[in-house]
Amino acid sequence: MTTEHNSGWNRDVKIPTGKPDGGFTIDTGVEVNQLHNEPVSPKEMEREIKVTDRDIGVLFPSLLFKSRVDDADFLEEVKEKVLAAAKDEKAGTTAGDPNDPVGWYSFDDLHQREGFEDVHTFLLKESAAVFAYYDYKIEQVYLTSMWANVGYKPLYCHMNHTHPNSIFSGVWHVSTPNLGTTFAQTTTFSDPRPGARVIEPSVNKDHAAHNSGTVSPVVNNGSLFMFPSWLPHGVQQAYQDYNGTPRITISFNAMMTGDITTRTAPIRFS
């Protein structure tokens, strides 16, 4: 499928600028022009050197696309379908003790499973909009895989990982325990640059995307995160009871068809 370049993502998604609005983009807590070039030694400056046009540029950023499905009925329908699939031995596998599982994972063909057509269409359109935002030359966008993850207990987690053989990936949070608290299990993203953590100074206040090795965005029911497939991510263990609300996410990988002729030997994705 194709999508127009002025799709919702292109209008709504903001990349970090010199004066970010906050969230988990660059936020120093002060205006850029309020930063002062203080001397690094006790020697008095003989003259004041005026510095102007201070700014913060973001180079080679790892973009995280965020949105949220604001349709409680649709979320509840998907939740019930996933929980029903979790009872089908041919649809996936349990994690932990089969008689008292920590979680359940569907096989990665959920986008081809009857009853999940609306989910597939929704995630495919969102994926196409991300490809359009990057302005890649493509013929078609398709989902190579889609699967459901269900956590029944706080010990449910995913080790840090990436999604090979894909361009973009996503995780849609259908049901989240302990919403509105620090115990709500979100998806945690890690700095993909190992060299950036060689020296890790302490910070005066809270960690943020520009000074931390991990970022855990605030999550809600319906939250969708999409990102380059090489960006490391995982789910940390929680230590607060789920109180009967399972953690349900649907993950997916998006790929393209078309010719790549840039810089290297031509390659055909089909």
Query: Which pLDDT tens digits describe the chain residue by residue (270 residues)?
Result: 443 434 344 444 333 333 333 333 333 344 544 445 555 565 665 788 899 999 998 888 899 999 999 999 999 999 999 999 999 989 999 998 888 899 999 999 999 999 999 999 999 999 999 999 999 999 999 999 999 999 999 889 999 999 999 999 999 999 999 998 889 999 999 999 988 889 989 999 888 888 889 999 999 999 999 999 999 999 998 889 999 999 999 999 999 999 999 887 888 988
For 63-191+211-269, the fitting CATH number among 3.30.1050.10, 2.60.120.620, 1.10.3720.10, 3.40.50.300 is 2.60.120.620
Q: Report the pLDDT value the prediction gives residue 262, as an integer from 0 to 100.
A: 84
Q: What is the pLDDT of residues 172-218, one digit of tens each?
A: 999 999 998 889 999 999 999 988 889 989 999 888 888 889 999 99
pLDDT of residue 236: 92
CA distances to 20, 29, 126, 128, 217 from 121, rounded to whole Å, are: 33, 40, 9, 11, 25
| pLDDT recorded at residue 39 | 53
User: Of all residues in the chain, what percent are helix, strand and coil, respectively (each to 5)?
Assistant: 15, 25, 55
Give dist(CA 207, CA 189) in Å, integer: 13
The dihedral through the CA atoms of 132, 66, 176, 192 has a sign that is positive
H/E stretch holding 95 reads strand 92-95
The pLDDT score that the predictor gives to residue 244 is 92
Q: Are 77 and 116 in contact (CB under 8 A)?
A: no
Domain ranges within the chain, ordered by starting residue: 63-191+211-269
Q: How high is the pLDDT of residue 257? A: 94
Q: What is the pLDDT of residue 21?
A: 39
Q: Which residue has the tokens 């604001």?
A: 70
